[in-house]
Amino acid sequence: MKKKKKRFALIFEKFWAYLRLVRITNLLIIVLSQYFFRHFIILPLYGFEHTVPAMSEPIFLMLVFSTVFIAAGAYAINDYFDMRIDRINKPDKMILGRLIPRRAAILLHAVFTTLGILLSIMAAYLVGAWKLSFISIIIAFTLWMYSFKYKASFLTGNLIIAVLSSLVFFIVWLFDIYAQMQTGRAILTGGNFLKGFLMIYLSFAFLTSFIREIIKDIEDYNGDKKVGCRSLPIVWGVNTAKWVSMALTALSIVLLVVVVYMLQKFEIFKLLKYYMGLIGFMFFYLLFIIRKATEKHDFSFISNYIKVIMFAGLLSMQLIYILF
C-alpha cells in the first residue's frame, strides 16, 4: 500500500511539474481571454442584430487550442534556454533536469507547436482565408527567437511578449471578420462598438504584460547579469526599471480614466464604470507596491498581483455581457 501511494505521489508530482513547465495559469488566462472576448463581446452583437455567428464554435475551439498549444510549446522551450539563469535565480524551483528530463522540453515544444500550427491552418481553411494561417507560423517563430535570442536583449523581448499578449484578442476578432466576409453578409453594424472594446483590451493586455515583464526582469536580476543578459534593470539600473514600470502603470490609470469618461454617455454601463474604478484602485496599489519593493520576494509578489489585475480585467467582459 505504501509503495502504491509513493508511486501515485511520484506520478502526480511529475504531472504537476509538466503543468508548471507549460505555465498552466498563463494558459488559463489565454483561454479565458479568447473565450470571454468571443462569448461576452462578439456574440452578443450577433444576437443584438438577430444574425448567426459567422465563425462556428468548432472553428473557434480550433483557434483557441492553436493559441494554447503554441504558447505551451513556447513556455517549454523557454525553460530549456533559461536553465543556466534558473540555476541562479530559483534553484529550488527548477523543473528541467530535476523532475523532467531536458529533452522533454524540446519534444514538447516540437509537438505542441506543430499541433498549434496545424490547427491554425485548419481554422484558416474553414473560414476561407489561407493567409491567416501564416499568423500562427510567424508567432511560433517569433516565440522561438524570443527564447533563443531576444529575451536577453534590451527591451526587445519585453516588447515581443507584450505585443503577442495583446494579439490573443486580435486573432479572435480577425478570424471572425474573415468568416463574416465569406458569408456574403454585411459586416456587423456594431463593428465600431466592437473595435472600441477590442482596442481597450488590446491596450491593457499590452501594458500589463509589459509591466509584468519588467518586474520579472528585476526579480531575475542576479541570474540575468551573470549570464550576460541586457535587460532593462541591468542596462539602466533597478531603480530606473522601477520608475519605467510605474510610468506604464500610471499610463494604464490614465487610460482607465479615459474609458470611464467615454462610458458616461451610456447609462446602461453605469455599473461598469464603478467596476473600472475598482480596477483603477488596483493599479494605484500596484504603483504603491512597486515603489516600496526592494527584495526579490517583493517583485515575485508584484508579478503574481499583476495576474490578479489581468483576471479582474477579463471579468469586466462578463459584466458587459450582463449589462447588455
| Sequence-ordered list of residues with C-beta below 8 angstroms from that of 303, at least 6 positions apart, any chain | 212, 215, 216, 219
Q: What pLDDT was estimated at residue 141?
A: 96
By the 10 Å C-beta count (0-12 exposed, 13-18 middle, 19+ buried), 98 is classed as exposed
Residues pairing with 96 in the sheet: 100
Q: What pLDDT was estimated at residue 211?
A: 97
Q: What pLDDT was estimated at residue 274?
A: 85
| Sequence-ordered list of residues with C-beta below 8 angstroms from that of 200, at least 6 positions apart, any chain | 255, 259
Q: What pLDDT was estimated at residue 188?
A: 59
Q: What pLDDT was estimated at residue 47?
A: 76
Cell of 146: 524570443
Written as tens digits, the pLDDT of the chain (324 aa) is: 566 666 776 777 777 888 888 889 999 999 999 999 999 988 888 877 777 788 899 999 999 999 999 999 999 999 888 888 888 887 777 788 778 888 899 999 999 999 999 999 999 999 988 899 999 999 999 999 999 889 888 999 999 999 999 999 999 999 998 888 877 655 555 567 778 888 999 999 999 999 999 999 999 998 888 888 899 999 999 999 999 999 999 999 999 998 888 877 776 677 888 888 899 999 999 999 999 999 989 999 999 999 999 999 999 998 888 876
Tell me the three state secondary structure of residue 294: coil
Name the residue with cell 450577433. 46
Question: In this structure, what is the dihedral angle of CA atoms 180, 135, 124, 195, given to the nearest 10 degrees?
Answer: -20
- Could you tell me the pTM of the whole model? 0.92
Rounded CA separation 63/33 (Å): 12
Q: What pLDDT was estimated at residue 166?
A: 93
Q: What pLDDT was estimated at residue 88?
A: 82
Question: In this structure, what is the dihedral angle of CA atoms 130, 132, 133, 139, given to the nearest 10 degrees?
Answer: 160
Q: What pLDDT was estimated at residue 98?
A: 78
